[in-house]
Amino acid sequence: MDGFPVKVTEAVCLGASLAISGICYYLYKKSRTTLDKLDDAPHFTIDGKLKDILKVTPGACLQYAVIEGAVRPVGEPLTSHFQKEIVGVLQKFLLREHRLVWNGFSRTWMDSERILHQRVNEVPFVLVGSDETMVRVLCPIQASGVHTEITHEKFHQVNYGLGDIVGQYLSGEKLKGQLETEEMLKVGTALTGIGEVILDTDGTLCLRPPPNGTQYFLSIADFDTLRGEQESMATGWKALTITFALVGAAVLLWVGRRYYYRLKVQWEQDHERREFERLRAEATRARALLTGPEASQDRVEEHIENACVICLSQPRNCILLDCGHVCCCHSCYQALPHRRCPICRQNISRVVPLYHV
Ligand SMILES: [Zn+2]
Ligand SMILES: [Zn+2]
């Protein structure tokens, strides 16, 4: 019996599904923790009272709080490169190249995208409440959540000649074109900010990323929408965790089932050999009673002449039934790949020991 019968593909499937399940579980736990923190976070309106609350809070700091206000630049705002009337405080410019790459495995052209150029501009800004109280927003680049709107999008298509088309089929790559986008966080946008709110020594209110690594959010959606998105993300990760864990369990069951059948065959063979040995011992005893112990010595030569047709060394010592052929030793019989007689190919239903009297 060789080692545990795991094939390479099964080991790869098992390893991959367990690893993916582990990663999905980690992401699920992470989004679940974020969701719990969002539920625990207090909501504040930006007004004079917020400053008073922070003055009496230890460390003048609210570790994780939700605030909402309108975006206003501290100095000069940024102007859109494409629509001069649009002004904002955060501007992302992106140039992406789109290609079709031939996938030999699925025999189709697959979309592939590559960032050619990326630029982010920002100016300091505040969130303004109803009574003109302001909260300075720090490190907006680090924030998660959708907080910019697309202000420009243009696809520059590539035109080909005949030579290019032939070249594409030879190289397996087609250039589709370049997508140019500009996104901006516009002045006046109602923004939800979730993070650490502090009262600085100079009396400014600030919103900044929590130092303990909790997720920092800036979003143009309201709090409930943002929470809903986080919740569906957590549910998605949970579903993926369960799916991949089930795939892993299925592979394990499959391997276990095969291992069980192998063991079963081995048990059956052991049982059969013991039974054969028992019958042979009985026969030898019976022969010794009838002919005396010296008779067995006379048979050595006959045994060699009568050698097993498979190993050519052991004497033929079993009768294969139902065909009745006496052609091999019991060890060779057990090593047969199929339970068929090596002489006539008939199925072997039973084996009994052969003995001469
Ligand atoms: Zn043999
Ligand atoms: Zn036979």
What does the pLDDT look like over 250-275, one tens digit per residue? 999 999 999 999 999 899 889 888 98
Give distance in angstroms: CA of 326 to centre of ligand 2: 8
Nearest ligand, measured from the Cα of 326: 2
Nearest ligand, measured from the Cα of 314: 1
Q: Evaluate if residue 89 carries a pLDDT over 70.
A: yes
Here the tokens at position 299 are 């048979």
Query: Comparing C-alpha atoms, which of 46, 17, 8, 10 is closest to residue 244?
Result: 17
Reported for 332-340, long-range contacts at CB under 8 A and 24+ positions apart, including other chains, are 332/308, 334/269, 334/272, 334/273, 335/310
DSSP state of 316: P
Do residues 315 and 307 lie in contact, with contact meaning Cβ atoms separated by under 8 Å?
Answer: yes
Q: How confident is the model at residue 1 (pLDDT cuts 50, 70, 90)?
A: very low
Nearest ligand, measured from the Cα of 323: 2
**Separation CA 94–CA 133 (nearest Å):** 34
Nearest ligand, measured from the Cα of 329: 1
Nearest ligand, measured from the Cα of 334: 1
Give distance in angstroms: CA of 80 to centre of ligand 1: 90
Q: Evaluate if residue 324 carries a pLDDT over 60.
A: yes
Give distance in angstroms: CA of 333 to centre of ligand 1: 7
Give distance in angstroms: CA of 289 to centre of ligand 1: 28
- The architecture CATH gives domain 296-353: 2-Layer Sandwich (3.30)
Q: Evaluate if residue 292 carries a pLDDT over 70.
A: no
pTM above 0.85, yes or no: no
Mean pLDDT of the chain: 87
Q: Evaluate if residue 60 carries a pLDDT over 90.
A: no
Q: How confident is the model at residue 357 (pLDDT cuts 50, 70, 90)?
A: low
Give distance in angstroms: CA of 343 to centre of ligand 2: 5
Give distance in angstroms: CA of 296 to centre of ligand 1: 20
Q: What percent of the chain shows pLDDT beyond 90? A: 46
Q: Evaluate if residue 3 carries a pLDDT over 80.
A: no
User: Which one has a higher pLDDT value, 352 or 66?
Assistant: 66
What average pLDDT does the segment 63-84 reach? 91
The pocket of ion ligand 1, defined by CB under 5 A, consists of 308, 310-311, 314, 329, 332
What average pLDDT does the segment 109-121 reach? 90
Do residues 317 and 354 lie in contact, with contact meaning Cβ atoms separated by under 8 Å?
Answer: yes
